[in-house]
């Protein structure tokens, strides 16, 4: 089975029909039907995250595999504690920083719109810059470190192959990112600011044992790792789709319809192809008629579930406002994406303003699809028609 392709959807279609519980290798399964994925995400009693209660998140001599420190890999009580420590604060910081995000969005758009006057322009830099700068601002990371953060995060993602593999590379980049965040935590202890990281460090040190240090680092790492490459992928896909579908792009002209447009972008090509962490059956379970043993790694292919024709009629059509149940791009259940509100905020802001300033955007050449579990495009060349000659 070749998922290492710009268009994995025909493969997913075949899997949904013939092998909905596909055995990737011994003890690892990929689910491609909507109801199966939803069940695995929602049923926390039967399907655990990989970190058991009190399990180690890695040591200095034996680094944890990629993503094992972050929240999506944890079970209660660790997961409950980590989520409670950050969820409300994160949303408050997102809401409190809308003016900053709006200003940064315009700053980044100015040169891009200017460059469109001269011809074809690649939008991938813009797509990365807004979410990266925003999460760095929310956490209070120095904007001078933008290149460093980009490099570390890039080292974590491209090494993930097209099929889910919890032990695939990226561990070294993850260790470096963690070390960088550790240093920032130490700096916040000495000189706190009004950013989210300072607030969490304060809460962490105020009461003994309020939040173990490794959990604090796990949360911060998760916010950076989950906090921008996925939105960048969503924005890249959004720009490609709005330039390919001018009729549907009119949804971006009103705030309510913009939400429908963004949701359809996220359904049509899920930025995160599979859940970041596998789910592990607590006992043998039968999924779509296939017994899946206790302890196996079960991956929900969110992008395949979003194209299930039993749930989304004519799923390969990009059709904003199609209705129906919600897409699974943000996962579901207890691990539902913490950043969903920020995703809608940034994607809506950027795509709406881009359309206001360049309403006649069209593809200049074929965009270059990213291969791997993170979708999006490494190059998004667009042009305005009057500049075409």
List residues binding ligand HEM (CB under 6 A). 41, 71-72, 83, 135, 222-223, 226-227, 230-231, 234, 271-272, 275-276, 302, 329-333, 335-339, 342-343
Q: Output 335 or 384, the one with its CB closest to ligand HEM.
A: 335
Task: Provide the Cα torsion 151, 153, 156, 161; round to 10°.
Answer: -100
Structure tokens at 48: 């655990």
Give the C-alpha separation, 140 to 169, whole Å: 28
Q: Nearest distance from residue 74's CB to ligand HEM, in Å?
A: 7
Secondary structure of 96-127 as H, E, C letters: HCHHHHHHHHHHHHHHHHHHHCCCCEECHHHH
Q: Is the dihedral of CA 148, 343, 182, 79 positive or negative?
A: negative
Q: Output 315 or 376, the one with its CB closest to ligand HEM.
A: 376
Q: Nearest distance from residue 173's CB to ligand HEM, in Å?
A: 18
Cis peptide before 77 (omega within 30 of 0): yes
Q: Output 48 or 383, the one with its CB closest to ligand HEM.
A: 48
Q: Output 65 or 339, the one with its CB closest to ligand HEM.
A: 339
Residue 318, by phi and psi: left (phi above 0), alpha (psi -120 to 50) or beta?
Answer: beta
Give the C-alpha separation, 54 to 124, whole Å: 40
Q: Output 116 or 220, the one with its CB closest to ligand HEM.
A: 220
Place of tokens 């989950």: 226
Q: Which is nearest to 273 in space by CA: 245, 237, 310?
A: 237
Q: How far is CA 142 from CA 128, 131, 326, in A?
A: 17, 15, 37
Q: Nearest distance from residue 258's CB to ligand HEM, in Å?
A: 15
The distance of Cα 106 from the centroid of its chain, to the nearest Å, equals: 23
Q: Where are the alpha helices (DSSP H) in 117-212?
A: 124-139, 146-156, 171-190, 196-206
Q: Nearest distance from residue 342's CB to ligand HEM, in Å?
A: 5
Q: Output 48 or 285, the one with its CB closest to ligand HEM.
A: 48
Give the C-alpha separation, 5 to 3, whole Å: 5
Q: Output 41 or 173, the one with its CB closest to ligand HEM.
A: 41
Q: Nearest distance from residue 247's CB to ligand HEM, in Å?
A: 24
Q: Nearest distance from residue 138's CB to ligand HEM, in Å?
A: 7
Q: Which is nearest to 293 in space by CA: 285, 305, 301?
A: 285
Q: Nearest distance from residue 61's CB to ligand HEM, in Å?
A: 27
Q: Are strands 381-383 and 121-122 parallel, antiparallel or unpaired?
A: antiparallel
Q: Which is nearest to 238 in space by CA: 97, 130, 90, 335?
A: 130
The residues, ordered by sequence, that sit 6+ positions from 209 with a Cβ below 8 Å of its Cβ are none
Q: Output 320 or 332, the one with its CB closest to ligand HEM.
A: 332
Q: Nearest distance from residue 135's CB to ligand HEM, in Å?
A: 5
Q: Nearest distance from residue 165's CB to ligand HEM, in Å?
A: 16
| H or E stretch covering 382 | strand 381-383
Structure tokens at 77: 């009580």
Q: Output 303 or 383, the one with its CB closest to ligand HEM.
A: 303
Q: Output 332 or 372, the one with its CB closest to ligand HEM.
A: 332
Q: Nearest distance from residue 117's CB to ligand HEM, in Å?
A: 30
């Amino acid at each position: 089975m070749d998922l290492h392709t710009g268009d994995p959807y025909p493969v997913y279609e075949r899997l949904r029909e013939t092998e909905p519980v596909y055995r990737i290798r011994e003890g690892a399964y990929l689910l491609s039907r909507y109801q199966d994925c939803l069940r695995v995400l929602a049923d926390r009693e039967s399907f655990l995250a990989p970190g058991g209660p009190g399990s180690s998140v890695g040591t200095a001599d034996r680094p944890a595999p990629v993503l094992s420190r972050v929240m999506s890999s944890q079970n209660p009580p660790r997961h409950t504690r980590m989520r409670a420590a950050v969820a409300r604060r994160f949303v408050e910081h997102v809401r409190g920083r809308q003016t900053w995000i709006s200003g940064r969005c315009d700053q980044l758009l100015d040169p891009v719109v200017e460059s469109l006057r001269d011809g074809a322009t690649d939008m991938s830099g813009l797509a990365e810059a807004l979410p990266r700068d925003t999460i760095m601002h929310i956490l209070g990371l120095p904007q001078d470190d933008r290149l460093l953060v980009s490099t570390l995060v890039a080292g974590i993602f491209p090494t993930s192959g097209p099929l889910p593999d919890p032990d695939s590379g990226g561990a070294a980049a993850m260790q470096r990112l963690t070390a960088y965040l550790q240093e920032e935590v130490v700096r916040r202890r000495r000189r706190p600011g009004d950013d989210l990281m300072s607030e969490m460090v304060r809460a962490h040190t105020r009461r003994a044992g309020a939040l173990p240090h490794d959990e604090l680092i796990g949360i911060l790492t998760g916010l950076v790792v989950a906090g921008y490459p996925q939105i960048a992928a969503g924005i890249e896909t959004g720009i490609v789709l709005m330039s390919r579908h001018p009729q549907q792009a009119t949804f971006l002209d009103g705030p309510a319809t913009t939400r429908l447009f963004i949701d359809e972008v996220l359904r049509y090509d899920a930025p995160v192809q599979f859940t970041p962490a596998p789910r592990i059956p607590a006992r043998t379970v039968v999924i779509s008629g296939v017994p899946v043993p206790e302890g196996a790694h079960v991956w929900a292919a969110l992008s395949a579930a979003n194209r299930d024709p039993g749930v989304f009629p004519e799923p390969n059509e990009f059709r904003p406002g199609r209705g129906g149940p919600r897409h699974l791009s943000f996962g579901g259940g207890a691990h539902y994406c913490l950043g969903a509100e920020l995703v809608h905020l940034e994607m809506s802001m950027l795509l709406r303003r881009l359309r206001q300033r360049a309403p006649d955007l069209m593809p200049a050449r074929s965009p270059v699809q990213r291969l791997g579990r993170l979708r999006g495009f490494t190059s998004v060349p667009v042009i305005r028609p009057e500049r075409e000659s």
